[in-house]
Chain A
Amino acid sequence: MNELVLRRQELVENPTARVPVCLCLDTSGSMAGPPIEQLNRGLQEFYAAIKADDIARYSAEIAIVTFGGTASQVTDFCSIDRQAVHGLAADGGTPMGEAVDIALQLLEQRKKEYKDAGVDYFQPWLILMTDGQPTSPWEPVADRTAKLADAKKLSVFAIGVGDGADLTVLAKFSPRRSPVRLDGLKFGAFFEWLSRSVTAVSNSTPGQEVPLPPPTGWTTV
């Protein structure tokens, strides 16, 4: 029956559910040289991989907070198409606590914006990377982060870079997922895994448990 045809104009549009990801990256002086160069390259590849996926490019929203001397927000959450990431420079101490505090504030603010705009969102992700130890108080914010992770309000991925990274400190931020140590300077492999993981979540449907790709090729055994 020809009259029983639905037209696209009779349907509604809803925004794609978002996956907010905050990268909290150590840019202290000890990251100078090959580590920061590899980190910058890995970041570029990460953005390129997300942009290459039809769904993830509209779903993933990335913010970057760095801690090198001071903790600062480098990029805010927005569509990845409108973001430009310039090279990060290494300098100063390791104020990890302040940086994670900024990251948590950004994530909370973004969730509020989603709610106000009627946008669905997946569990936010916090990626914490460091090659050293915090040089300022970090315990209170680690407690807050751990509580969010325990309540499944936040997925925390803590990665140590090099032998100087203190995984016991990172473990305080990530009680549900043990911290791992990056194999050498394989930032590229890590960000490739991260883009595949974000893409997997972006492409999932409600009620679906999303198995992440195994973290192989970038962690030490």
Chain B
Amino acid sequence: MPCQDAASVACSGLPVVAALADGLGSAARSEAGAHIAVATAVQLLASRFTALAMLPPQGIAEALVAEVTARIDEAARDAGEERRHFASTLMFVATDGVTLVAGSLGDGVVSRQGTDGRSRVLFRPKRGEHANETFPVTSIGAAAHMQVTVEPLGGALGFALFSDGAAEALYQRKRDEIAPAVDTLLGWLELATPTEVSAALANSLGGVVSEKTTDDCSIALLRRVELASVSPDKRELRAVMLAANPRSSVHLRNRLLALEFWERAASGVPEGMSPSTYRRHAAWLAKHFVREPGRS
């Protein structure tokens, strides 16, 4: 049986959104349902974040469930199947850097890392009485079962969303505690590029984490990373961060040109750049970077 979990992120601009869904093993098309759920949630939250953040939590739940089930119904019609065959859970975290909109429907876990560097439970699993009973997005009254919060982002450093399979190793049910491993995983995002972290995550989920369960294991991570904290030898990571949230391709090109110039502490301005533009970029770089020793 293929993995029935799906994850999706939007991080090329603000808001940043991550979503994860776990397709139910009893539903024939749950893998497709999970993909539809995360793609729809990410698209909706990224495109209508401000409007959604003004709704009460229940309104956000209803909007998300309505949109996801509408897309599932389209897919079900095309496949000649019923909606319930696309059953999956859904978790999401979205932030514009000021406001947090997050939610969970089903038996996954969402954690938030505080300023002390420790992750704590934001949403715990919600299921029926028995271990094999959960609330999928396709169920009647799904929106009423969705846990949603809208609040200031505050000092949150990061978030982790994980399916119930991964939760077997990362969430201690009786103590309601998040495993230290989650903070380790979030820390990786300060050490390496998202691509490298994804590869390392795949190794861990397929290795030590999957030893704890026979279920699919999936995790999505969001971490606030300050450029100043990234060491100069992590050039690829710095490049990824420099490219984050570009206002335009010209803006990005100028940012990279300014970096080369600024790192050499050269006098004047880069060729083709106005002094005021360079001053803006240099100020941004000085705020976020430590100039590499020996370059000045």
Q: Which residues of A contact B (CB under 8 A)?
A: 1, 3-8, 10-14, 17, 55, 117-118, 120-123, 153, 203-210
Contacts and interface: CB of A to CB of B under 8 A. Distances in A.
B84 to A, nearest CB: 11
Contacts of A203: 214
Contact of B180 (A3, A10, A206, A209): A10
B25 A4 contact: no
A120 B130 CA distance: 7
A12 B170 contact: yes
B188 A4 contact: yes
B132 A204 contact: yes
A98 to B, nearest CB: 27
Contacts of A1: 191-192, 196, 200
A4 B197 contact: yes
Given A4-B196, A5-B200, A8-B208, A206 B132 contact: yes
B179 A10 contact: yes
B129 interface: yes
Contacts of A118: 173-175
Contact of B169 (A3, A4, A12, A210): A12
A208 B24 contact: yes
Nearest to B30: A207
Interface string B214-233: 11100000000000000000
A6 to B, nearest CB: 4
A205 B165 contact: yes
A176 to B, nearest CB: 15
Contacts of B31: none
Most buried by B among A12, A13, A117: A12
B64 to A, nearest CB: 19
A87 to B, nearest CB: 34
Contacts of A11: 169-170, 179, 181, 208-209, 212
A118 B125 CA distance: 12
A100 to B, nearest CB: 21
A117 B203 CA distance: 32
A13 B204 contact: no
Nearest to A7: B208
B172 interface: yes
Nearest to A120: B131
Nearest to A8: B208
Contacts of A207: 22, 24-27, 30, 87, 89, 107, 132-134, 136
B184 to A, nearest CB: 6
B26 A208 contact: yes
Given A3-B191, A13-B172, A205-B164, 19 more contacts: A1-B191, A4-B188, A6-B204, A6-B209, A10-B181, A11-B179, A11-B181, A11-B212, A12-B172, A14-B168, A118-B174, A204-B25, A205-B214, A205-B215, A206-B107, A206-B127, A206-B131, A206-B132, A209-B25
